[in-house]
Amino acid sequence: MEREHVVLPRKHLPRGMKRLPFSDAVRVGETLYISGRIGLDPETGKPPADVRDEARVLMDDVRHVVESAGATMDDLVMVTIFAPDVGDFAAFTEVYLSYFGENLPARAFIGSGPLLYGARFELTAVAAVTKRG
């Protein structure tokens, strides 16, 4: 089956890197695999100070990746969120719910060790992309 790699332009790359070692997403047939995403402010390359702002930046970024691959947030079927502090669950979920309609994807919210760049959340997802006509 043919693979389509989604690689988006980036303003900020870690020091010494010419490119990141992954695609933003890979589509194989009707399945879209979204790489781990963190909510970094595109201007500063750092997580916003407010937890809800970071969740919004992250979810906007996920939506951008999904839409760049020709899908929608409604196509997501499985979402996994890693968080060093599970106490951020309620704040993240409040923002997360605003990105979906009534039918939500399956989801896991997993306590983790520290995340890159001091992020509070990392999200990875799988979408089943339906044909639209």
Report pLDDT for 7. Answer: 86
Neighbours of 93 (CB within 10 A): 14
Domain ranges in the chain?
3-7+22-128
Long-range residue pairs from 9-15, CB within 8 A, at least 24 positions apart, any chain: 11/42, 11/45, 12/40, 12/42, 12/45
* CA dist 109 → 62, 86, 89, 123, 133 (Å): 16, 8, 8, 9, 34
Q: CATH assignment of 3-7+22-128? A: 3.30.1330.40
Instruction: Point out the least confidently predicted range of 1-10, 29-38, 86-95.
Output: 1-10
Residue with tokens 């937890």, as numbered in its chain: 51
pTM score: 0.91
Helices (H), the chain: 51-68, 89-97
- 23-69, pLDDT tens digit by residue? 899 999 999 999 999 998 878 888 999 999 999 999 999 999 999 99
DSSP state of 102: S
Amino acid present at 113? G
* More confident site: 131 or 123: 123
- Calculate the average pLDDT of the chain: 91
Report pLDDT for 17. Answer: 57
